[in-house]
Structure 1
Amino acid sequence: MTKTGIRRLLLLSGTTALASFGAAGTANAQAAAGTTLAGTQITNKANASYTVNGTAATAESNIASFVVDRKVNLSVVGEPNINTQVNLGQTNAVLTFRVTNNTNSIQDMSLRANQNLGAGGTGVDNYDVNNVRVFVDSNGNGQYDANVDVGTYIDELGIDQSAIVFIVADVPSNVPTANFATVSLNATVAAGGGVNVEGAALIPATDLNLLTQNADLDVVFADNDSDGLLGADAARNGQARAYLEYEVGARAVNLTVSKSSMVISDGVNLINPRSIPGAVVQYCLTVTNSTLLTPASGINLTDVIPANTTYEPNSITVGGLGAGNTCVLNGFPVNDDGTQVLLSPYGGSYNAGTKTVTAIIPTLLGGTAVQASFRVRIN
């Protein structure tokens, strides 16, 4: 009997046929969040059951399959998303970002820092930093470690995994009125699969062959415009960008200097010595930084010894404690010739030609005071 005859017999006999469709897939490779991995092959076939004159039979379709394409997505955010306070002339100032791979496959991430792009900053961008570099956190401690964090791209970043990235730059010292330098980190999704080899930037699919597209692993960009209409990023370009700022903070502190004197000895009176010729007098200089949270650096105190006195050699001390303007506990001794005294954090010198005493305080924290002292003998 011909096939046409069989079909006619089925119709005439009132026989019914039921078709069932089931997804017997092989998509068993899933990301942690349930996202199917790019390159996974999903297969499917249909089954039909029917009867002919009371005899049950089945028929099975061919297997239909397709490959899951790569859905490219990523994000870049500040970590934390706040300005970094810097000082003029500061070197290796750090901005910290977090880059996350939201693509359904392991990817490399190419990294680039830019200045003066977009409107992502919070302040008016009015100066540029120098020597801008990008490094990846290699040991996962979230802190930039010079000569340790040396990678310049993210290698083999897993699905839904993130990496910390640092922008490191030097703040110029010749921008006395500038406050904000806006810098952005731009991340581009690149090909993964080669350990310790930076992959090329991905290119979205352009395959229009509908007959074979189910077997192809295509690239589809699905990322959003990460910085809005006024920024440098765009939707579906395989990139993401975030902005942070170097902010120059306070440029001045309320620094005051007070001076007092006290007769140490006069060669006559053991108690309550007097300021008579031959007496030794100690001068106490108190430097106070009353601006909280803002340190003052590179403080140089200078004092010319008064007429009718002679400087007492090697009598300079810095870092002492005092009560009011009076030194009650001398600090670290300072060499008259300017050489460093062992273990002393301070410096200083005495210039016999100009009769000038100098005391050097490297840093004075906000809300603190430090005393310096020296002695003279009344002629």
Structure 2
Amino acid sequence: MDIRAIRKQFPILDQEVNGHPLVYLDSSATSQKPIPVIEAVDNYYRLTNSNVHRGVHTLGSRATDLYEGAREKVRRFINARSTAEIIFNRGTTTGINMVAQSYGLQNVKADDEIVITPMEHHSNIIPWQQVAKITGATLKYIPLQEDGTVSIENVKNTITDKTKIVAITHLSNVLGTINPVKEIAKIAHENGAIIAVDGAQSAPHMKVDVQDLDCDFYTFSGHKMCAPTGIGVLYGKEELLQQMEPVEFGGEMIDFVEKYDSTWKELPWKFEGGTPIIAGAIGLGAAIDFLTDIGMDNILQHDKKLAKYAQERLNEIEGLTIYGPKDRAALVTFNLDDVHPHDVSTVLDMEGIAVRAGHHCAQVLMKWLDVSATARASMYLYNTEEDIDRLAEGLVKTKEYFGNVAY
């Protein structure tokens, strides 16, 4: 990977913040957008803007071709069997809620079990809490190992023949843990359960093959993988999606409407009520082209190299605690002794360094870590070792600013 050439594709990085060159280390919250994605969205609005599927005029046909072409790009990107299995929506949160409301409420009953982990994002906890409350099912958590990983033994001990749904993140947005989804899927299926995977953090950073993972559902967001905000994907096995009812009703998703009854379009459109997120889908397609040209294996290798370097540099700082396993994706979550994470983030911002501070929508995990909040530096394909050096230097200045002894 030619990182310097890649960085030139991201115009936002070529600026100063508070008098310093910007170091953007908040890609787990949202990634920056490369020129090809910006141009794809701009060109749609400049040259093609029209609704899809409904008109037979030239602009409508062009827009439909671009929109459905993006769906095919997503299918190839995650190796789904068919575009019928690719549902466009607003993002991971929407996708998980669709599974919970349509599949979960239809298939879970009292005395059944839903299994998740303490490392889940709130978007993969609250929908399952609601399903459990409505149906009377039991919500169970797979215990974490001391380093924030999941052991297969604990998975086997938690999933039972009462389990109907296993919902798990592929990659933790706090710990950087990459979960063994393929092995967990096998255990779930052996017990008669389905598995729904939160891929918000994994899809941007690694090659995803939903057929190889044998997951039943997989959700991810475009904005974390160089695409615009407001566009996401729900993948579902076709036989499951066929059984499910839509969760939004209106135009676009109908076949016939009569006075007292209606029928739905075939997959995937029965789940895409209303005017879809056309520009977002086109931007996602452009982002997939951009990432594919670089190579997902190359991106993961780069990310892991940065994660290793970041751990080494930050471990040199006395009084700094890093959370999560050594083998991780491209993020480092940490705390400085006696300095609140929000103060850490504020001082770093004064140095032009953007990191995230707070509970990262993972309060259950914060309680497990026995902290109220953390700071998080998350890297992506446009980051360099020099960015990590700037982070380390900024943290030393933060210690000095708050009266601590620098290492």
Give the TM-score normalised by structure 1: 0.22
Give the TM-score normalised by structure 2: 0.21
Which structure has more relative contact order (CA 8 Å, sep 6+)? It is: 2
Normalized per residue, which structure has more strand? 1
